[in-house]
Structure 1
Amino acid sequence: MGRPTIAIIGAGFAGYNAARVLARRMPDSEVVLVNPTDYFLYLPLLPEVAAGILDPRRVTVSIPGTLRKVRLLLGSVDSVRLEEKQLTYIDPEGDRGELSFDRVLLTTGSVNKLLPIPGVAKYAHGFRNIAEALYLRDHITRQIELADNTDDPEERAARLTFVVVGAGYTGTEVTAQGVLMTKALCKEHPRLAGQQARWLLVDTAPRVLPGLGESLSRTADRVLRQRGVKIRTQTSVAEATDDHVRLSDDTVVPTRSLIWCVGVRPEPLISGLGSPTTKGRIDVDEYLQVPGHDHVFACGDVAAVPDLTRPGEITPMTAQHAQRQGVRAALNIAASLGIGERRPYEHHDLGFVVDLGGWTSAADPLHIPLSGLPAKVVTRGYHLYSLPGNRGRTAASWLTETAFGRQGVQLGLVRGKDVPLDTDTPMGAVTPNP
């Protein structure tokens, strides 16, 4: 059939790892990775970017620099014609292009999950990409500085109050890092001496980290409460305005900061493909193949992958599953082109790590519960191992932050209007220039 073209849409955990495997497995094919940015974003360390611990470059891994045998096609895919084996994309300057393929892997990731709550789309701040993390870092710093400016005690209290919605993996880490960040910032302002920022973590679930094990949940809950975080479980947001949040129990919380970590939903491109979906995720079989389309594969957050370890369920939207599904999808694509044999995707979780800032983490490697410094060592070791690049620079940044502390300054690189919560832009994407 000549030199086949394999298109991979999205360079998240699934797409990046699939491209890396295919470049090695299929040297005689053209592997094209279509992505709106030229980097792979290591999402688990994004809270440390927002907290001023890591430079954004430490969590962004260059695609051209690490996948030298892969062609990077810079752009956002806006349509895929499965039968015609073609996709269309828009590059960062707004120009449209087309790409024909012999095989396609859909790994477009996810976007912020919105709920029909008045004011949330306008006043909440999301947390899914570099721009949102940088904006949040500036926003938190700005609120501390404006709290120092004012002589109005009510305004000061509101600016020193931060509400995080969603006590899952991201919300818990953002809260844990944020508390330490605001504590350090307040010390730099004599007028705020003796005052501490108030952090409120809200979730409809009965406990923190509801999707993870009990040991991780207990450790995170204990650490957050010790730092003064108010945890409101089985509670949601009923309304958001520019100066307060009203909770589902009618409690009114004066604040200028609503941080939205409720969860994610599949990237909207999937809904236009015309293929069956489950909870918005495109249906695939155990081989990560879209039924009825032998040349179409999907994995990661956009795919409803059957969980063979839990019959009748689909795999959760985690980086651990996405990374391993990307590898398996690549091998099965190679098998469909005559290299190797296809195999079903099956993976048992090996445990999770949750960085709680400072010298504290929660981890259960191989389901062995750890907390405190041992968990911190495991957590940072895991992240360094999982990073496909920048390991030395990231380790050096951690050492520098430990020795000299974080820098609390506003960079002013991202404005609020540039990071709207109500957007269908996939994580890491950039809006085309006019």
Structure 2
Amino acid sequence: MAKPRVVIVGGGFAGFHAARTLAKAVSGGADVTLVNSTDYFLYLPLLPEVAAGVLDPRRVSVSLAGSLRGVRCVLGEVFQVDLADRRLRIRSPEGQTSELGYDRLVIAAGSVNKLLPIPGVTEHAHGFRGIPEALYLRDHITRQIELADMATDPEERAARCTFVVVGAGYTGTEVVAQGSLMTADLAKVRPGLRDQPIRWMLLDLAPRVLPELDQRLGRTAERTLRRRGVEVLTKTSVAEATADGVRLTNEAEVPTRSLIWCVGVRPDPLVEGLNLATEKGRLRVDEYLTVPDHPELFACGDVAAVPDLTRPGQTTAMTAQHAQRQGKLVARNVAASLGWGERRAYKHRDLGFLVDLGGVKAAANPLGIPLSGLPAAVVTRGYHLSAMPGNRVRVAVDWLLDAVLPKQRVQLGLVRSAAVPLESAAPELPSSRMVSSPEHD
């Protein structure tokens, strides 16, 4: 008899761990296929360090084919799901389409940038969801400091030395933390900026930094940022953006060439085309990660509204921690549906949270123990090394070299602004979008 076909859509935290766990659970008794738009798993928590030039982008990119033994990896994007015939339609990076049948389907497509109807944001802001965006941001920040050094107009110089980050969650906080250290280092070798303030602003409509985490972590992060000169504006956001600056909700006008959008994420648009029940845009599933009335269909990670059994009536948060655990569990439940083992409900225990604030600064509460400063930084980096499915030695070496050698602050000129539009999640970098010289802002 033919082996059952299991297809996993998405190679992020949920999809990657689902594929790896399932391949081990079925031991070759089923055909396991992973469909993803890139050929790598992106370790997203370390992306701010790529943008700051601390880590090489290859360090946070783990080869899917090299890491997932027993799994067939298909490079492409699923744009249509036929639930009746149990078939997927896939578009390759070069535009060809193909179909793929399945007996079990796991939707783990992840999330994309959350867009808000604010005039000018889509045209003038850049998100932070993938390697192309991180590389673009690194070049952009470097370029602004270099152009500010050349500027003869004080107003232009000030605008180029002002960086506005919207969203004080994980990503925004870490981008500001790494970025403020990066620009301070860049300015040291620029005589024209000796007396020029480098202004970083962190905005959020929430009443505090890291609103989704323990208040002590938020206070630690905010205190560290303020000591570096970062302007933290809570209950404040952008009302309008232009090419020359932003107008804030408090009516303040801020001249800037840099608007970085870290407001949050929303489930991948693939969910909308399924015509199934959703909750706040996420696919509704039961505690076994199965879609109601579709025993062959599973979902996990950011696309799934998973019941939080530790908080009745609520769903689990869209975090890497949940996605990784759900990926492992969904693999076991898919295997159980095929005759290997028994299915289990998803119930988690909070292990704590970690926020890297750059250098030797961090905030963490592993197992509920609040830490800050160097101890938190050691715990944070230790956790990341243990959680990464590959490249651990290379990451550790990059950290060591960054600590003992002078920083390499140059533009690479690989990614143009048009290649990383805000509305995309993690844009591809086909050759037609690569350039050999920097984009001029």
Offset from partner CA, 1:331-374 (integer Å, 9 cap, x none): 00000001100010010211011000011100000010000000
The 3-state SS of whatever aligns with 2:291 is: coil
The CA distance in 2 between the partners of 1:64 and 1:161, in whole Å, is: 42
Superposed, which structure 2 residues align to 1:229-268 within 5 Å? 229-268=230-269
Determine the structure 2 residue equivalent to 1:427.
426
What amino acid is aligned across from residue 307 of structure 2 in structure 1?
P
What amino acid is aligned across from residue 187 of structure 2 in structure 1?
C
The CA distance in 1 between the partners of 2:53 and 2:430, in whole Å, is: 25
Determine the structure 1 residue equivalent to 2:33.
32
Offset from partner CA, 1:243-295 (integer Å, 9 cap, x none): 11000011000000000000000000100101000000000000000001010
The CA distance in 1 between the partners of 2:197 and 2:374, in whole Å, is: 25
The 3-state SS of whatever aligns with 1:122 is: helix
The CA distance in 2 between the partners of 1:182 and 1:125, in whole Å, is: 18
Determine the structure 2 residue equivalent to 1:401.
402
- Ranges of 4+ aligned residues in structure 1 off by more than 2 Å: 426-434
1:41/1:428 contact within 8 Å kept: no
Determine the structure 2 residue equivalent to 1:226.
227
The 3-state SS of whatever aligns with 1:28 is: coil
1:183/1:196 contact within 8 Å kept: no
Superposed, which structure 2 residues align to 1:413-424 within 5 Å? 413-423=414-424
Determine the structure 2 residue equivalent to 1:302.
303
The CA distance in 2 between the partners of 1:408 and 1:432, in whole Å, is: 25
Tell me how far 1:430 sits from its aligned partner.
Answer: 5.5
The 3-state SS of whatever aligns with 1:135 is: helix
The 3-state SS of whatever aligns with 1:295 is: strand
The CA distance in 2 between the partners of 1:409 and 1:239, in whole Å, is: 31
Structure 2: where are the runs of 5+ without partners?
434-441
Determine the structure 1 residue equivalent to 2:18.
18
Determine the structure 1 residue equivalent to 2:379.
378
Determine the structure 2 residue equivalent to 1:161.
162
Kindly indicate whether residue 413 of structure 2 is the aligned counterpart of residue 412 of structure 1: yes
Determine the structure 2 residue equivalent to 1:388.
389
The CA distance in 1 between the partners of 2:188 and 2:431, in whole Å, is: 41
What amino acid is aligned across from residue 13 of structure 2 in structure 1?
F
Structure 1 residues 267 and 361, CA gap change in structure 2 (3 angstroms): same
Determine the structure 2 residue equivalent to 1:98.
99
What amino acid is aligned across from residue 20 of structure 1 in structure 2?
R
Structure 1 residues 341 and 431, CA gap change in structure 2 (3 angstroms): farther
Offset from partner CA, 1:303-341 (integer Å, 9 cap, x none): 000000100000000000000000000000000001100
Determine the structure 1 residue equivalent to 2:76.
75
Offset from partner CA, 1:102-157 (integer Å, 9 cap, x none): 10000000000000000000000100000000000000000000001111000000
1:144/1:186 contact within 8 Å kept: yes
Determine the structure 2 residue equivalent to 1:9.
9
The CA distance in 2 between the partners of 1:433 and 1:413, in whole Å, is: 11
The CA distance in 2 between the partners of 1:125 and 1:143, in whole Å, is: 15
2:20/2:69 contact within 8 Å kept: no
Tell me how far 1:93 sits from its aligned partner.
Answer: 1.0
The CA distance in 2 between the partners of 1:428 and 1:122, in whole Å, is: 16
The 3-state SS of whatever aligns with 1:313 is: coil
What amino acid is aligned across from residue 282 of structure 1 in structure 2?
L
1:286/1:305 contact within 8 Å kept: yes
Offset from partner CA, 1:45-85 (integer Å, 9 cap, x none): 00000001000000000011111211000101101111211
Determine the structure 1 residue equivalent to 2:275.
274
The CA distance in 1 between the partners of 2:172 and 2:106, in whole Å, is: 30
Determine the structure 1 residue equivalent to 2:190.
189
Determine the structure 2 residue equivalent to 1:292.
293
Q: How many residues align?
A: 432
1:238/1:247 contact within 8 Å kept: yes
2:112/2:423 contact within 8 Å kept: no
What amino acid is aligned across from residue 11 of structure 2 in structure 1?
A
What amino acid is aligned across from residue 96 of structure 2 in structure 1?
D
The 3-state SS of whatever aligns with 1:37 is: coil
1:309/1:346 contact within 8 Å kept: yes
Tell me how far 1:428 sits from its aligned partner.
Answer: 6.1
Determine the structure 1 residue equivalent to 2:349.
348
What amino acid is aligned across from residue 222 of structure 1 in structure 2?
R
Tell me how far 1:191 sits from its aligned partner.
Answer: 1.1
The 3-state SS of whatever aligns with 2:421 is: coil
2:158/2:196 contact within 8 Å kept: no
Structure 1 residues 329 and 433, CA gap change in structure 2 (3 angstroms): farther
What amino acid is aligned across from residue 280 of structure 2 in structure 1?
K
What amino acid is aligned across from residue 402 of structure 1 in structure 2?
A
Structure 1 residues 91 and 212, CA gap change in structure 2 (3 angstroms): same
Superposed, which structure 2 residues align to 1:127-166 within 5 Å? 127-166=128-167
2:419/2:429 contact within 8 Å kept: no
Determine the structure 1 residue equivalent to 2:437.
none
The 3-state SS of whatever aligns with 2:290 is: coil
Determine the structure 2 residue equivalent to 1:64.
65
2:132/2:426 contact within 8 Å kept: no
The CA distance in 2 between the partners of 1:82 and 1:428, in whole Å, is: 27
The CA RMSD over aligned residues, in Å, is 1.2
What amino acid is aligned across from residue 10 of structure 2 in structure 1?
G
Q: Which moved further from structure 2: 355-364 or 192-201?
A: 192-201
What amino acid is aligned across from residue 427 of structure 1 in structure 2?
A
Offset from partner CA, 1:159-181 (integer Å, 9 cap, x none): 00000000000000000000000
What amino acid is aligned across from residue 9 of structure 2 in structure 1?
I
Tell me how far 1:188 sits from its aligned partner.
Answer: 1.4
1:109/1:427 contact within 8 Å kept: no
Offset from partner CA, 1:193-216 (integer Å, 9 cap, x none): 132310000000000000000111
The 3-state SS of whatever aligns with 1:125 is: coil
Q: Which moved further from structure 2: 185-194 or 70-79?
A: 185-194
The 3-state SS of whatever aligns with 1:393 is: helix
Determine the structure 2 residue equivalent to 1:46.
47
What amino acid is aligned across from residue 98 of structure 1 in structure 2?
E
The 3-state SS of whatever aligns with 1:294 is: strand
The CA distance in 2 between the partners of 1:432 and 1:92, in whole Å, is: 11
What amino acid is aligned across from residue 297 of structure 1 in structure 2?
F
1:360/1:371 contact within 8 Å kept: yes
